[in-house]
């Protein structure tokens, strides 16, 4: 498994992306555990994603967008707001 960034606060884009995942998840009333199950991603890793601790691969971004039933564009757009 990937290692978390030691100074994720220095990577604002990771924090923004993680926050967009959290917002979209909460908007759909899905628990973090359910989202991780739907996306095929470990729950603790999903928590790290939402906290901006991981630099995700495109494969995992796609898994999350599919699980949330939104486009990657929608997730990225939310991260840029």
pLDDT, tens digit, 9 for 90 and up, residues 51-80: 999 999 999 999 999 999 999 999 999 888
Q: Which two tokens stand for residue 55?
A: 């630099």
Note the pLDDT tens digit of each residue in 8-46.
567 899 999 999 999 999 999 999 999 999 999 999 999
Tokens 């691969």 correspond to: 57
Do residues 53 and 14 make contact, with C-beta atoms less than 8 angstroms apart? Answer: yes
DSSP 51: T
Distance from C-alpha of 37 to C-alpha of 56, rounded to nearest angstrom? 17
- Give the list of residues 6+ apart from residue 68 with CB closer than 8 angstroms, or none: 21, 24, 25, 28, 30, 35, 75
Q: Which CATH architecture has domain 8-79?
A: Orthogonal Bundle (1.10)
């Amino acid at each position: 498994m990937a290692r978390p960034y030691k100074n994720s606060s220095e990577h604002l884009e990771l924090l923004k992306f993680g926050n967009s995942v959290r917002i979209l998840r909460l908007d759909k009333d899905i628990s973090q555990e359910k989202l991780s199950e739907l996306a095929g991603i470990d729950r603790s890793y999903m928590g790290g994603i939402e906290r901006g601790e991981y630099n995700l691969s495109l494969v995992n971004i796609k898994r999350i967008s599919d699980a949330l039933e939104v486009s990657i564009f929608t997730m990225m757009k939310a991260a840029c707001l």
